[in-house]
Structure 1
Amino acid sequence: MSAHADDRRWVGDAVATLHREAARSADTHLLHMRFAGFPGIDFYFKDEAAHPSGSLKHRLARSLFLYALCNGRLREGQAVVDASSGSTAISEAWFARLLGLPFTAVMPEGTSPGKIEALRALGAHCVLTPPGECTQARARSIAADGACFLDQFGLAERATDWRGNNNIAESILGQLESEAHPQPAWIVCGAGTGGTSATLGRYLRYRGLQTQLCVAEPADMVFADAWRRRDRDACSRADSVIEGIGRRCVEPSFQFDVVDEVIEVDDAASIAAMLLLEQRLGVRHGGSSGTNLVACLELATRMREAGTEGSIVTLLCDRGERYAGTLYDADWRAARGLDVAPWQQALTDALAAGTLVVPDAAN
C-alpha cells in the first residue's frame, strides 16, 4: 500500500475517532433558574464546563481538528500547535492526546497557572510569550518547522458547522423545546475568537428565529467599539483579567452582522458575578461566566421595565478551578485593585429587585 493510502487510512480513522467522541460527549446540561426580581423571565445556563476537557472550547477544538484533517493539513504523527489564552489549548491538548499527536500551546505569560498545569498534565508543551509579543505569530513560526497550526482565531467561524450537527445553538434550542419560552428572547455569549457568536447568530437566522444575540465583553476591549462602528481595523490598548474573552484586535472570526447587542462589563463585576454563581450553583466557573451573567441581568432589567416576559440563555464557559490562584484568590484581587464587594451587593440586590444598578464605587 502506498504512503498516500496509508495517510488516508489514518485520516479516516482519526475522523471516526472524533465522531465517536462527539457521540459520547455531545451534549451538556441546560440549568434553569428563576430570580424573585424578574417574574416571568426564565434564566438558562448552558454548562459547557461539563465537557471532558472542561470548557466550551471542547466543541471548537474538535471542529478545528476535523477541519485540519479533512483539508489534508494534518497527518499521522504530525505535531500540532495553536495560540490560546488557555481554555482552547487545554481542549486541543485533550484531542491531540486522543489522536496520539504532540501538541504545543502558545499563550501569554500571564495565563492562569491552573491552565498551564492542566496543559502539562495532558502532555502538552507550553510556550509563554512576554507582553507585546503576538501569540499567533509565535505559533505560526513554530508551524513553519512542520507542525499543523490549528489557528483558532482565524478559522473558528468556518471550522464550526453552524447549520447544525449538534452545534451549541442547535443543542440549546433542542433542550428548550418543552420549556415555557422555547424561543429565547436573548442568547448571551462572550467574544474571544468570535466563533461562538458566529455560530449562534448564523443558526438563529438559519432557523428563522427572532431570538437576539448579545455579546458580553470585558470593558474597553476591542469588540464593542469595533461592532458599533463596523471597523475591522479597530484596536484597543486595554487589558482584562477575564481570560478567554475580550481582544485587543478584531479577530477574523468576528461576524459583526449576526450580533444584535454588545454589553461591556467591568472586571470587578464579572468576578462578583462569578462568585455569585458559585453561591447559587455550588460549583465554580470562570470569570467569563460571570461576565455573561452580568449581561443577562442588564437585559433582564430592560425586559422587566418593558413588561416583557421570556427566557434568556447564556453559557457557563469553563471550570473555576483553573482560576483558584487568581480570580478566586482575594489577595490576588486586592493586589490588582479589584474591589468586588460593591458589585456583589449590586448583583444580589438586582436578583431581588429586578434592576441592575451600577454601584457608586464603579462610577
Structure 2
Amino acid sequence: MTDTDRLRRLLGGPDTAWLVRRVRRRLERGRPLTGTVTLAGAAPGQRRAAELLLGRRAGTGTSLSVSLTEVDRVLRASGACAGGLAGAVEVLDGPVRDLAREQAEAAAAWNAAFAPLDEAVAARPEMAEWRGRLDSSGLVRRLASGPGEAAGMLRHLAAVARALPAGGIPLGRFAAETCGNAHALDDGRPLATLALSCARAIAGLPFRADGGAGSRREAWAAVGVHLDELSSTVLCVGLPGDAGTATGRMLAAMRGEPVSLTLRQLRRHTAPMRAGLVRVCENPIVLTAASDALGPACPPLVCGNGRPSAAVWRLLELLAGGGAEFAYHGDFDWGGVAIAAAVRDRVGWRPWRYDATAYREAASGTPLAGRPSPTPWDPALAPAMAERGVRVEEEQVLPDLITDLAGVTRAG
C-alpha cells in the first residue's frame, strides 16, 4: 500500500529531489540502498525537508548526510510506501531502468550484428588490425543508429570482404554482386565508408575512415575494383605493339616514349600481347629515365605506380597471355615488398636487382618504418631489411637499373 499524498509530502518536493535522483542512480546500477548519501552545500530548505522526512535534526554544517536505510524504514513504518525507498522512487519518478540488463542486451545485439563480418575475416590475418580498429574507433557505431541498422550494413560489408580482392571489376557491378544494389558503395554512403576502409586493409594501406577522390580511387584499384574505365591507367614504355589492333598500333607508333593506357583501351584489346621479357618497376621515374636514356631502343618496361590499378593488372595479364616473362624491381621498404608479393602472386616474376644482395649494396640513410612482410622470392631479403633498418627507393639505384636496360639493348 502507498499513501501517495503522505509520500509526496515526505519525499516528493523540490528540496528532496536530489535524494530521489541519487537513489534512482543507485537502483539503475544495481547498487544496494544502504549507507549514507551526502549533499555538499545544502540549502536551508533541503535541510528542513530532511528533518521532516527523518523526524529529527539533520545536523549542522554545510553538508547534509542522509541514511538510506533510515529513510527506507521511515517510509515503510509511516505507511507512506510499503515498498520502501525503492518503491517510493518508482511512484514519484517512474519505473527504474536496469542499466546492467540494457547494457548486456545491447552488447549481445552488437555482437550478433558483427558476427557475419567476424566470420568473414576470421581466417584473414591481414584484416585483424582493421577489425580491431572498427571497435576502437567506434566507426560502425557512429555510422549506424544502433545494432539493428548496423546488422544489415555489416552483413553487406562481410560480403564485400569475402569478394576482395577482385579481378578488375567496376564499382557499380561489384556493389550489385555483393550488396544487391549497384549504388550501395557510392561515395557518401555509410556502407561505402566501411567498405573503403576494408579495401585499404586488404591492400595494406593505412587505416582511415575516408579520403579524397584520388585516395578512394587508389584504394579500390589496389583490390581490383575500378571507379571507371578511364581513371584507371598504366604507364609503359618499349612494348612492341602490333599492326592489327588500335592499342597495338599506338604502342608501335610511340615506341620509346612512355605511354599511358586506360583500362577502357585494355579491356577492348582482347588479343594477347607478345613482348618476351618485360621488366616491371614501381615508380614512374624509372620509365622517364629509361625513355630519356634509350629512346626507341628501350626494352619493354611496365610501371605499377605504387599499388597496381585494374589497368596494371589487365596489361600484365595480357602480356602473360602472350607468353611474356617478368622481372621485377621496387622500393626496398615494407610497402614495396607487399606490392611485389601481390604482383608475384598474380603473374609471377624473377627478381631484377630486388634481393638481399642488391639491398645490402645500395646506399641509403632513410630509416625503414612499417610492419615487416615476408619476401618469398628471396627469404634472406626480409631479415636483411629488418637488420639494416633503412629503406632504398628506386630513384637511389636508378643508374644501375638504366645500365641493365641498356645492356639488354646492346645484347639485342
Structure number with bigger Rg: 2
Larger relative contact order (CA 8 Å, sep ≥ 6): 1
TM-score in same-fold range (> 0.5): no
Structure showing the higher helix proportion among its residues: 2
TM normalised by structure 1 equals 0.28
